[in-house]
């Protein structure tokens, strides 16, 4: 698993929107690649899953999701909310996305525990439940990513020029 490139931690007033757009794109791509790996793992359950890879995924799922969410909540959303033409609908959407972040982060924590349990005690692991959990997580994250690519990223890019 590759580590993420550092992101711009400047306040929205200090950060250039073009850099924010590039960093947001990076986080969206990184999460999408991670979801692809989780899908492959779900397809390989139970016997073809590499224990080391499974532990790496468990170790990285929470930090990866948290890092992306922290950037969005600390930089992207404040930028969008500071624009003079921010609509009431966009404000509501951002609030909804923040709640989705909470759910995704909690789900990531549960997934971390389940993946570790699978590696350390395969005999008592419920493989069907783990596969369902993996699919539920990556499908939810993919929907979130798709929404942000289609709606949030273009707003940030529009305000970069």
CATH code for the domain of 47:
1.20.120
Long-range contacts of 119-122 (CB under 8 A, 24+ apart): 119/51, 119/54, 119/55, 119/58, 122/46
Is the residue at 2 inside a domain?
Answer: no
Q: Is the dihedral of CA 81, 87, 92, 96 positive or negative?
A: negative
Is the residue at 5 inside a domain?
Answer: no
pLDDT of residue 18: 78
Is the residue at 93 inside a domain?
Answer: yes
Provide the token pair at 156. Answer: 């940030």
pLDDT band at residue 97, thresholds of 50, 70 and 90? very high
- What is the tally of structural domains in the chain? 1
Is the residue at 11 inside a domain?
Answer: no
Is the residue at 129 inside a domain?
Answer: yes
Distance CA 141, CA 138 (A): 5
Distance CA 75, CA 9 (A): 7
Provide the token pair at 70. Answer: 């922290």
- Domain around 27: 17-158
Per-residue pLDDT tens for 27-76? Answer: 999 999 999 999 999 999 999 999 999 999 999 999 999 999 999 999 99
DSSP letter at 61 equals H
Is the residue at 58 inside a domain?
Answer: yes
Model-level pTM? 0.86
Name residue, tokens 């624009």. Answer: 83
Per-residue pLDDT tens for 120-138? Answer: 998 899 999 999 999 999 9
Is the residue at 12 inside a domain?
Answer: no
CB–CB of 131/42 below 8 Å? Answer: yes
pLDDT band at residue 103, thresholds of 50, 70 and 90? very high
Is the residue at 78 inside a domain?
Answer: yes
């Amino acid at each position: 698993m590759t580590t993420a490139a550092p992101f711009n931690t400047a306040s929205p007033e200090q950060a250039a929107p073009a850099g924010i757009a590039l960093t947001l794109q990076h986080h969206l791509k990184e999460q999408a690649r991670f979801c692809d790996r989780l899908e492959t793992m779900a397809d390989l359950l139970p016997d073809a899953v590499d224990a080391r890879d499974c532990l790496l995924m468990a170790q990285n799922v929470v930090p990866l999701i948290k890092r992306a969410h922290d950037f969005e909540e600390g930089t992207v959303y404040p930028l969008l909310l500071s624009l003079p033409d921010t609509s009431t609908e966009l404000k509501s959407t951002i609030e909804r996305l923040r709640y989705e972040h909470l759910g995704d982060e909690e789900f990531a924590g549960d997934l971390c525990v389940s993946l570790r349990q699978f590696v350390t005690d395969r005999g008592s692991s419920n493989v069907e439940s783990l596969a369902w959990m993996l699919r539920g997580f990556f499908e939810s994250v993919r929907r979130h990513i798709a929404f942000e690519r289609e709606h949030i990223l273009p707003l940030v890019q529009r305000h970069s020029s």
